[in-house]
Amino acid sequence: MHKDIQEILYGEDKIQKCVAELGAQITRDYKQRVDSGERLMLVSVLRGAAIFMADLVRAIDLQVEMDYMAISSYGNGAKSSGVVRILKDLSSEIRGCHIIVAEDILDSGLTLKYLMKNLASREPASIEVATLLRKKTLQQAKIDCRYIGFECPDQFIVGYGLDFAERYRNLPYIGVLKPEVYAGTT
């Protein structure tokens, strides 16, 4: 285990099993529509969710497109600033397409709330959210998440795409960061 990690919450096997189940669920839910020629696209929010989406698409047994957006809501600190900016937009046209937004973690929900509104204005056929983690926190924007991997404790966690100041994204597991690592930065 990495020296900055206090505790592993979800190990590699647990994450893979969870992603496989989410993929199977999505396959069941969209099979009919995709088989009749409708488009399905997974959209991930860079950078954290790219790792989750890369695994998730491989667990979906349907024709599926991938696209990316980059949004900033966090600085390098551990708390959401509530300020959301589009840094990179989708490359594809999504009108009439079934969209699933793949998120790494839902915390305040501010990022996702903004993103959903933005995507909805482009008139996709439908829009759902698949989040690997949802933090159990009191202050969370109301968001309908169709697919949720894990309900996680309200602690600052890293790994499997999640970072602290761009570090730890490449850890294959998800763990709680030792508070002394980010002390003084929030």
| 150 binding ligand IMP? (CB under 6 A) | no
| 38 or 74: CB nearest ligand IMP | 74
Catalytic residue of the set 35, 61, 104, 107: 107
| 157 binding ligand IMP? (CB under 6 A) | yes
| 110 binding ligand IMP? (CB under 6 A) | yes
By C-alpha distance, which of 130, 146, 134, 143 is closest to 41? 130
CA distances from 102 to 140, 143, 151, 183 (A): 18, 14, 15, 30
Could you identify the residue written with the tokens 């960061």?
177
Shortest reach from residue 60's CB to ligand IMP, in Å: 21
Number of residues that bind ligand IMP (CB under 6 A): 18
Contact set with Mg ion (CB under 5 A): 48, 74
Q: 15: helix, coil or strand?
A: helix
Asked whether the bond before 134 is cis by omega within 30 degrees of 0, the reply is no
The entry of ligand IMP, Mg ion, none near residue 133 (CB within 5 to 8 angstroms by kind) is none
| 74 or 150: CB nearest ligand IMP | 74
Q: Which stretch binds ligand IMP (CB under 6 A): 2-10, 17-25, 53-61, 73-81?
A: 73-81
Q: Is 61 a catalytic residue?
A: no
**Is the Cα torsion angle 50, 54, 60, 63 positive or negative in sign?**
positive
| 53 binding ligand IMP? (CB under 6 A) | no
Q: Which stretch binds ligand IMP (CB under 6 A): 34-42, 56-64, 91-99, 152-160?
A: 152-160
Q: 106: helix, coil or strand?
A: strand
Q: For the CA atoms of the chain, what is the radius of gyration?
A: 16
Angle between helices 12-35 and 49-58 (to 10 degrees): 60
Per CB under 6 A, residues contacting ligand IMP are 48, 73-74, 80, 103-112, 156-158, 162
Known catalytic residues? 107
